[in-house]
RNA sequence: CGGGGUGUAGCGUAGCCUGGUAUCGCGCCACAUUUGGGAUGUGGAGGUCGUAGGUUCGAAUCCUGCCACCCCGACCA
């Protein structure tokens, strides 16, 4: 265990976040600029996320496949807007061989004779290589839809990185689907947005606002970008997932046509959608406190930890026997349990350690409990402790896990409700931004110019045009021009 | 990439101004006593002072380049 340097959320949110990621053993910086090492405990959480998302993708008819890491430059540039959007942050492979440096013993140099005829782009996203492939897969409407997802790594050469929130290389899934009609593609886009929202709220316990991006914030190459937006504890917004309706842009760029039932040729309609290891950042920032991580039971690698307490040898026997009995009973119900029977550490040490790691439920069992047929149960979210009779313990723990899942969602939901402010004037807008970080609902005249000016003056961007907000006549907070709907502003990660 | 800061053992640090071979705490290893909220004692191991040069008899300390990280911008999921 590392010595814990305590920084409070309220003192320095960034430092608190960085310390937490390291101290809870989730990830660390690597020798490669901007890239992180995801450590076993952090990766275990990501695997839980993957497993559930993957299940939902398959349930909605998708299959996994894998496409190359590299994209030849000529393919990459085919869809102009997409290429332009990502051009500034691409890593490029220009050579395929090193050789020993004659002027510098023991060192290697790029072999100038091994220059590639065509540069390879390390994928920042895979539309290009995938749509180039789909062209060969699609001839008839009978070949559609294609519903494919891939789990992969991508590289975006960011200037400023932060563990999980923005790294130069990150892990994600990207779904890429092809459809015969616009309606079907749009329905797919919305369906996957729902999958993401459901996952965020019911598994991550993070409430999200579903919406549409403005033109400024739209994915490069998309006709429409849908997104889910979460609110972090420091009042900043985090884009947690996007689902794009790509229209026929990629089909046209890669010449992907199909013959319809009516024997007519038409371009294929496309969608793509993705979530990344950034979700780890959202999870950490949404629930954790000054004691450490708080994990929702549905994603916690360890849901219940059992800490045995004993002095004498005969106590140890009795306590461990009980502890194993409980552990097995819980495991048989599919609950992931860790029995921490290390003898070098005191119970207090272990309590603190599992709090740091966000384990939802802790069971302590000592000689006193063995005698009374009880256990001490502590929940991470509220830090409440109670002595429970062992009768029906498994059911009680199952119930408690459900309660914790609900409670941390409710807490996050309440927090968000308190931090969405409706404003009507520009003064109010600026005042709220400065004094009460969070989401702002305000009228906007619908132009890119206004959005850009607001961003320049306040750093706030339109996170989305919420899908479920009612139409309402009003005046743009910035220009006073007419508006039909409030949009969601915030400073964002 | 611009402005500010940091880099000394696994972690947190003192020393740097005023140059003389590195301090303390946690952790680690061994043994003993301990264990219901971060145990105690005794003994021990662990350092190219981020890195590459320069100045000097001598560099953690002074100078230069580079690298990484943090904070604030620009860019972005």
Does a structural domain hold residue A110? no
Say if residue A136 is in the same domain as residue A229.
yes
Please state, rounded to an integer, the average pLDDT across all residues of chain A: 93
Does a structural domain hold residue A4? no
User: What pLDDT is stored for residue A412 in this prediction?
Assistant: 96
pLDDT class of A437 with cuts at 50, 70, 90: confident
Does a structural domain hold residue A7? no
Say if residue A275 is in the same domain as residue A376.
no
pLDDT digit string (tens) for A338-385? 999 998 899 999 999 999 999 999 999 999 999 999 999 999 999 999
Rounded CA–C1' distance between A104 and B56, in angstroms: 28
Beta strands in A248-405 (DSSP E): 257-259, 265-267, 269-276, 304-308, 337-339, 361-365, 374-379, 385-389
Residue A334 has φ and ψ, to the nearest 5°, of 85, 10
Task: Please name which of A168, A189, A169 lies closest in space to residue A177, comparing C-alpha atoms.
Answer: A189
Rounded CA–C1' distance between A29 and B67, in angstroms: 14
Does a structural domain hold residue A109? no
Does a structural domain hold residue A184? yes
User: What pLDDT is stored for residue A1 in this prediction?
Assistant: 40
Strand B contacted by A347 CB (< 7 A): yes
pLDDT class of A2 with cuts at 50, 70, 90: very low
What residues have CB less than 8 Å from A334, skipping those under 6 apart?
none
Report which of residues A169 and A8 the model is more confident about.
A169
Q: What does the DSSP assignment read for A410-472?
A: HHHHHHHHHTEEE--SHHHHHHHHHHS-SEEEEE--S-HHHHHHHHHHHS-EEEEEETTPPP-
pLDDT class of A324 with cuts at 50, 70, 90: very high
Mean pLDDT of the A290-295 span: 92
pLDDT class of A5 with cuts at 50, 70, 90: low
For residues A214, A447, A465, A154, the Cα torsion angle rounded to the nearest 10 degrees is: 10
How far, in Å, CA of A241 to CA of A243, rounded?
7
pLDDT class of A99 with cuts at 50, 70, 90: confident
Strand B contacted by A170 CB (< 7 A): yes
* pLDDT over threshold 60, residue A4: no
- Here the CATH number for the domain that contains residue A471 is 3.30.110.30
Strand B contacted by A345 CB (< 7 A): yes
User: What pLDDT is stored for residue A6 in this prediction?
Assistant: 65
Q: How many domains, chain A?
A: 3
Does a structural domain hold residue A179? yes
- Of the three residues A361, A392, A415, the one that is the final residue of a domain is A415
Does a structural domain hold residue A116? no
* pLDDT over threshold 60, residue A291: yes
User: What pLDDT is stored for residue A88 in this prediction?
Assistant: 87
Say if residue A177 is in the same domain as residue A40.
yes
Q: Which nucleotide is nearest to A85 (CA to C1')?
A: B76
Rounded CA–C1' distance between A335 and B32, in angstroms: 39
Strand B contacted by A155 CB (< 7 A): no
Does a structural domain hold residue A405? yes
ipTM here: 0.87
pLDDT digit string (tens) for A54-98? 999 999 999 999 999 999 999 999 999 999 999 988 989 999 998
Say if residue A85 is in the same domain as residue A160.
yes
Q: Which nucleotide is nearest to A362 (CA to C1')?
A: B37
pLDDT digit string (tens) for A151-186? 999 999 887 888 899 888 999 999 999 999 999 999
Strand B contacted by A408 CB (< 7 A): no
User: What pLDDT is stored for residue A426 in this prediction?
Assistant: 93
- Here the CATH number for the domain that contains residue A191 is 3.30.930.10
Rounded CA–C1' distance between A104 and B54, in angstroms: 21
Say if residue A388 is in the same domain as residue A483.
no
How far, in Å, CA of A427 to CA of A223, rounded?
34
Tell me the two tokens of residue A324: 């194993």
pLDDT digit string (tens) for A207-236? 999 999 999 899 999 999 999 999 999 889
Say if residue A380 is in the same domain as residue A424.
no
- Of the three residues A235, A255, A287, the one that is the final residue of a domain is A287
Query: Hey, how many other C-beta atoms are within 10 angstroms of the C-beta on A303?
Result: 24
Task: Please name which of A196, A258, A185, A195 lies closest in space to residue A223, comparing C-alpha atoms.
Answer: A185
CA distances from A29 to A2, A34, A38 (A): 16, 8, 9
* pLDDT over threshold 80, residue A7: no
Say if residue A411 is in the same domain as residue A432.
no
Block residue for tokens 């992931």: A336
Q: Which nucleotide is nearest to A312 (CA to C1')?
A: B35
Say if residue A37 is in the same domain as residue A86.
yes
- Of the three residues A382, A415, A448, the one that is the final residue of a domain is A415
Strand B contacted by A161 CB (< 7 A): yes
List the domain range (segments joined by +) for residue A305.
Answer: 297-415
Say if residue A201 is in the same domain as residue A72.
yes
User: What pLDDT is stored for residue A456 in this prediction?
Assistant: 85
């Amino acid at each position: 265990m590392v010595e814990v340097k305590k920084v409070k959320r309220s003192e320095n949110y960034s430092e608190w976040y960085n310390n937490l990621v390291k101290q809870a053993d989730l990830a660390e910086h690597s020798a490669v600029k901007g890239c992180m090492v995801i450590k076993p405990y952090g990766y275990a959480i990501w695997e839980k996320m993957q497993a559930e998302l993957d299940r939902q993708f398959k349930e909605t008819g998708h299959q996994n496949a894998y496409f190359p890491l590299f994209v030849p430059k000529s393919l990459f540039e085919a869809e102009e807007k997409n290429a332009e959007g990502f051009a500034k942050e691409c890593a490029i492979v220009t050579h395929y061989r090193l050789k020993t440096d004659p002027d510098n013993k023991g060192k290697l140099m790029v072999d100038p004779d091994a220059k590639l005829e065509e540069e390879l782009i390390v994928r920042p996203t895979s539309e290009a290589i995938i749509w180039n492939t789909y062209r060969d897969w699609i001839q008839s409407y009978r070949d559609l839809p294609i519903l494919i997802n891939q789990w992969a790594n991508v590289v975006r050469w960011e200037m400023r990185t932060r563990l999980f929130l923005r790294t130069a290389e990150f892990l994600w899934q990207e779904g890429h689907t092809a459809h015969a009609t616009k309606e079907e593609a749009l329905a797919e886009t919305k369906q996957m947005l729902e999958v993401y929202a459901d996952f965020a709220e019911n598994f991550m316990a993070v409430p999200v606002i579903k919406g549409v991006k403005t033109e400024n914030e739209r994915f490069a190459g998309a006709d429409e970008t849908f997104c889910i937006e979460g609110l972090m504890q420091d009042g900043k917004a985090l884009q947690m997932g996007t689902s794009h309706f790509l229209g026929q842009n990629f089909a046209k760029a890669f010449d992907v046509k199909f013959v319809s039932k009516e024997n007519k040729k038409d371009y294929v309609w496309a969608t793509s959608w993705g979530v990344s290891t950034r979700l780890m950042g959202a999870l950490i920032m949404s629930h954790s406190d000054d004691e450490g991580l708080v994990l929702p039971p549905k994603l916690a690698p360890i849901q219940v930890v059992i800490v045995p307490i004993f002095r004498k040898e005969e106590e140890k026997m009795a306590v461990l026997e009980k502890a194993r009995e409980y552990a097995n009973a819980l495991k048989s119900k599919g609950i992931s349990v860790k029995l921490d029977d290390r003898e070098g550490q005191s119970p207090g040490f272990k309590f603190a350690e599992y709090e740091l790691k966000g384990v939802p439920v802790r069971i302590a069992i000592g000689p006193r409990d063995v005698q009374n047929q009880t256990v001490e149960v502590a929940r991470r979210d509220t830090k409440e402790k109670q002595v429970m009779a062992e009768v029906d313990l498994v059911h009680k723990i199952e119930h408690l896990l459900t309660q914790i899942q609900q409670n941390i969602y409710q807490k996050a939901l309440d927090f968000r409700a308190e931090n969405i402010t409706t404003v009507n004037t520009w003064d109010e807008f600026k005042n709220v931004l400065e004094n009460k970080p969070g989401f702002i609902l305000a009228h906007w005249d619908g132009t890119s110019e206004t959005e850009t000016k607001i961003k320049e003056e306040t750093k706030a961007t339109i996170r989305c045009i919420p899908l479920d907000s009612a139409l309402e006549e009003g005046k743009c907070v910035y220009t006073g021009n007419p508006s039909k709907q409030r949009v969601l502003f915030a400073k964002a990660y």
